[in-house]
Each structure stands twice: as C-alpha cells, then as structure tokens.
Chains A and B, each alone.
Chain A
Amino acid sequence: MVVLAIPVNYVWDFVVEGTATAMGWWTYDPGIGPVLEWSNGGRITLLWTIGIMCTWPNLIAYWAGKPPVRGLNHFERFCRLDRFTIPKTSPHMSSVRDAPGGVALAATQAPLTKQQEFGDYLNHEATIPRWRFELMRLGAWYIVFQVSFFVFLILPLVIMRCATGADSPYIP
C-alpha cells in the first residue's frame, strides 16, 4: 500500500482531479479535511478522498484474484458458490494434444469455442447448469462490490461529513 497504492493514487488524483479543479470543471465545496485552493477558487482535497480510495480498489483487485484464475475467487467463496462445484476429474483437454499421437488428433479436432476453452482451463466443474452458475457468479460479484463499496467508501464519507460539519448544500 505504501509502495504502490498511495503514490499511484496521489499521482492519478492530482493529474485528473487537479486538472479538473484547476480548470473549474468541478470543485470540492467545502471539502473534507485539508484542501488545496487554486487561484480561480477551485478546491481539491488533500487527504480524505485520495486516502479512502487507497483501500477499496485494492481490496477488490485482491479479491478478484490475479490471473491465471482457475478456481473460485474470494467474491465467489464469500457467497459459498463452492457448494455448487466439484473438483474436475476429467483429463485436461490440452494434455490430449501433448500425448503421443496428439498431433494427428489435434489435426482432426474441431477448434474449441471460447466457452469450451475457458471451461477446459478451470479446475472445477459446476454441479448445476452452467448458465445458472455463471448468473450466481455475477450475483456474487455484484453483492461483494456493493456491500464493500458501501462499507469502505459511502459509510466513511457520510460519517466524516457529519463529524466534521463539512456538509454541502448540494447534497441533501
């Protein structure tokens, strides 16, 4: 976090929001915590919004998992989707091509669709219809995104807005 998240967030925020507030495209009024005020009156916060953006996006990236993703990631395990899977027992398709005579076999084999290629790569199989499992995966991602976003971004923002008295007339 100290090595990557905070420096990258600060650089990104100052390039994007720094430009926007300096050009008058938007501003933080009054802004939570210390602010930097440009000569045209535009304001950018120095600690709060950048600070909280150092946690949630990193959590999400970590939970999604770094490729190659062959099993269920954190989102899917949080929602117990492992109940609908079994470890894959059938041989890996690509290993057939590596077997003796595999070249001849591969020559006659129909090309795999993207979906087959993806399924072949996973280390588990769904015990329910695939479309239903994929829909549940989408739901799991949606729920974890929404809940974590609320807990780590919305809630701290609202608490700080009330605690610091930095209420904005633009936000009821």
Chain B
Amino acid sequence: MPAAFFLPPQSNEALKENIRLLAGCTAFIAILGVIVALTQGIVVSV
C-alpha cells in the first residue's frame, strides 16, 4: 500500500473511501459476531 494512503485527505472528495472502509469494518464485526455466537459456550481448559 502506498505511503500516501495513510496521509490525511487532501480534499473532501477523498472522504468517499470511508464508505467502503466502514462497510468493511461492519461486515468484519458482523461475520465475527456470527462465528462468536456459534461458538458460545466452548471452554478450552489449560
């Protein structure tokens, strides 16, 4: 990923990328939530 990607946006136009970013984060948490709900109650003892 280019270093410029991490720099602050140069204009308000660049804020549009946040739509995909937020959608990705929401999807990640939702998928994680489903996995967690399905594995609820599993206890690994050490």
Contacts and interface: CB of A to CB of B under 8 A. Distances in A.
What is the interface residue range for chain B against chain A? 20 to 34
A65 interface: yes
A11 interface: no
A55 interface: yes
Q: Of residues B25, B32, B35, B36, which shows the largest number of chain A Cβ atoms within 10 Å of its Cβ?
A: B36
B11 to A, nearest CB: 9
Contact of A160 (B3, B8, B21, B37): B37
A13 B28 CA distance: 19
A47 B29 contact: no
A41 to B, nearest CB: 10
A152 interface: yes
A65 B4 CA distance: 10
Interface in A59-97: 59, 62, 65-66, 68-74, 77-78, 82
Contacts of A165: 40
Interface in B1-46: 3, 6-10, 12, 15, 18, 21, 25, 28-29, 32-33, 35-37, 39-40, 42-46
A77 B7 CA distance: 14
Interface of B: 3, 6-10, 12, 15, 18, 21, 25, 28-29, 32-33, 35-37, 39-40, 42-46
Interface of A: 1, 32-39, 43, 46-48, 51-52, 54-55, 59, 62, 65-66, 68-74, 77-78, 82, 152, 156, 159-160, 163-166
